[in-house]
Each structure stands twice: as C-alpha cells, then as structure tokens.
C-alpha cells in the first residue's frame, strides 16, 4: 500500500464522553489499545506533516456527555489537537453532514483519507460510508477504532468484538479498505 503525501488522518469523536459508563451498560468495549494506536498514528502524521482533521461531536441532546458545556466534550489526551490542526465540529453521526469537511478536503486537494476513532458502527461507519460514496480513497484502521456490546434487532446481545467485526464487514471493499495500525505505519 502506497499512500499519497497528502493523505489525511481523520480522528473521529475521540472525546472524554466515550468513557461514560452508559456506553458499556451491555458489556465492555473492544480494542482496549485503540487510543494508543491512535496516538501512534497521530505522531506519525505529525512527523510526516500530512494533514490531520480532528472531528468533535458537539451534541445538541440535553443530557449528552458530548454537549459542548460538559467536560466529556473535551478531546482525550491521546487525540488532543496540536496548534494549527483542523477541528471540525459536528452534531450528527456523519462528519460530512452540515459541516464544511468535504469542501476543506477538496480545497486542499486531498483525495485519500484514513479514519480512526469511535464508535465503529455509528459515527465511524456513517462517515466512512459517506467518504466512499463521495469518491475518496478511504481506509479504516480497525485496531484504532472501537465500539461497545449491543443488542441486535431481535434482542440478542452481541459482544463489542462482534459488533465491530460486522461493521467492518459492512464497509470493507465497498466503502473503504480495512487495515491495521502496523500495516498503515509501514506503508
């Protein structure tokens, strides 16, 4: 895999709110090293001076930990933006909806995107699908993303790893290429 020099890293919703116990009420999350892998990728992107976009969820729901007036809205330390790095605020599960993300990417001549973050089957999947549909060459780093256990449509409890794997299966090959942190760092 060879990545163009202007490949952008997009870090989606890696905010303190994701540690709220409400997310894991059905069971623990997967990929406990995801934040460490995100930090590794972020460091590599900064060293290479490639573009970085931090996506921040600014919830409009009254009781959300992601609301801008709550401490959970802050970025986690591993994903803290550095001076000059772009922050895109969103209030839906898709970073392209009601934001200028697409215009910024196209204006900078960026056509290859690497996604990391949370929640695999929610904001990541919605945004990655849109990126693929918009014609971007898109990668999703499976060990730099995570989700939580949840019940399926029929009420069967699925582990976080099962939910994650199904979400990856939904996206891989049609909307993106799923890769690991080590594969990407060696590219």
The answer on pLDDT for 48 being more than 90 is: yes
Q: Please report whether residue 98 resides in a domain.
A: yes
In the numeric block, the tokens 């799923």 are attached to 178
Q: How far, in whole angstroms, is CA 132 from its chain's centroid?
A: 14
Instruction: Report DSSP state, residue 44.
Output: H
Q: Please report whether residue 1 resides in a domain.
A: no
Please give the average per-residue pLDDT across 25-53, as a whole number: 97
| Total domain count, the chain | 1
> Domain residues for 36?
8-185
- Our CA angle for 49, 52, 177, nearest 5°, is 105
| Cα diameter, the chain | 47
- Is the separation of the CB atoms in 119 and 87 below 8 Å? no
Mapping DSSP to helix (H, G, I), strand (E, B) and coil, where does residue 90 land? strand
Q: Which two tokens stand for residue 52?
A: 């970085």
pLDDT value at residue 2: 87
Q: How confident is the model at residue 186 (pLDDT cuts 50, 70, 90)?
A: very high
Residue 29 sits in a domain whose CATH number is 3.40.50.850
> For residue 35, which of 185, 186, 181, 183 has the smallest C-alpha distance?
181
Please give the average per-residue pLDDT across 54-82, as a whole number: 95
The answer on pLDDT for 146 being more than 90 is: yes
Structure confidence by residue, pLDDT tens digits, 95-122: 999 999 999 999 999 999 999 999 999 9
Q: What Cα–Cα distance (Å) separates residue 76 from each residue in 3, 15, 133, 148, 166?
A: 27, 5, 29, 18, 26
State the chain's mean pLDDT as an integer. 96
The answer on pLDDT for 187 being more than 90 is: no
Q: How confident is the model at residue 1 (pLDDT cuts 50, 70, 90)?
A: confident
pTM of the model: 0.96
Q: Please report whether residue 3 resides in a domain.
A: no
> For residue 122, which of 93, 96, 102, 95 has the smallest C-alpha distance?
93
- Measured distance CA(127)–CA(130) in Å, rounded: 5
Residue 121: what are its φ and ψ, rounded to 5°? -90, 10
Q: Please report whether residue 2 resides in a domain.
A: no
């Amino acid at each position: 895999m060879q990545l163009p020099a202007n490949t952008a890293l997009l870090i989606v919703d890696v905010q303190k709110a994701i540690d709220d116990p409400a997310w894991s009420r059905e069971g623990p999350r997967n990929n406990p090293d995801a934040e460490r892998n995100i930090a590794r990728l972020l460091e590599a992107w900064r060293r290479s001076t490639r573009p970085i976009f931090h996506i921040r969820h600014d919830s409009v729901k009254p009781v959300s930990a992601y609301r801008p007036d709550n401490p959970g809205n802050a970025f986690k330390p591993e994903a803290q933006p550095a001076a000059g790095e772009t922050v895109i605020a969103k209030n839906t599960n898709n970073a392209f909806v009601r934001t200028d993300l697409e215009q910024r990417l196209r204006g900078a001549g960026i056509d290859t995107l690497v996604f990391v973050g949370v929640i695999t089957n929610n904001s990541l999947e919605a945004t990655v699908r849109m990126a693929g549909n918009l014609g971007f060459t898109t990668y999703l780093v499976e060990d730099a993303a995570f989700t939580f256990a949840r019940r399926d449509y029929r009420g069967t409890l699925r582990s976080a790893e099962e939910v994650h794997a199904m979400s990856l299966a939904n996206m891989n090959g049609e909307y993106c290429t799923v890769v690991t942190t080590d594969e990407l760092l060696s590219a």
